[in-house]
Amino acid sequence: MEENKMKKKVMVAIDESECSHHALQWALENLGDTLSASQVFIFTAQPLPNFAYLSASTYGAAPLDLITTVQKNQKKLTLALLEKAKDICATHGVDGETMTEIGDPKDKICEAVEKLKIQLLILGSHGRGALQRAFLGSVSNHCVHNAKCPVLVVRKPA
């Protein structure tokens, strides 16, 4: 327990995107010594499924079994994503602790940073232009401005 108190806490926030995978790889290759001496959290947020498109069906609402199936599949995909990231960390000598939350990724990442007292947040950027960010939002931009720790945004080379 004493050892964990002295270790730095680093979180790598991931999703299923190539940009996210690149950020994890970059961090392991360029910050390997720092990460291997730190407590590393691999975090992903599962957005709430949108069943609004089903409400127009003849049922009037999404059938419960369909909702359950979608949620189970989302959970399987998330666990596979985290397991793959943990394996990638292990090949670089980094022991990553996985965690997931359900909700809007930008909010859940910032909440986890605060809750866990993270000292460095690492995440990828999709490299969207200003117009796309204005309409779609940007998880990395939100975290840069709202996370309670330094944020390292890794962009994939063009």
Q: Which residues pair with 121 in a beta bridge?
A: 11, 151
pLDDT of residue 25: 95
- pLDDT per residue as tens digits for the range 120-155: 999 998 766 665 555 545 899 899 999 999 999 998
The CATH code of the domain that includes 16 is 3.40.50.620
Q: Rounded to two decimals, what is the model's pTM?
A: 0.83
Whether residue 116 is contained in a domain is answered as: yes
d(C-alpha 109, C-alpha 113), whole Å? 6
Tell me if 8 sits within 8 A of 121, measured CB to CB. no
Whether residue 115 is contained in a domain is answered as: yes
Q: In the chain, pLDDT over 70 holds for what percent of residues?
A: 80
Q: Provide the number of structural domains found in the chain.
A: 1
Whether residue 125 is contained in a domain is answered as: yes
- Structural domain of 75: 7-155
| Residues 6 or more apart whose Cβ sits within 8 Å of residue 26 | 154
Rounded to 5, what percent of the chain is helix, strand, coil?
50, 20, 30
Those residues of the chain that have pLDDT short of 70 are 1-5, 49-62, 127-137
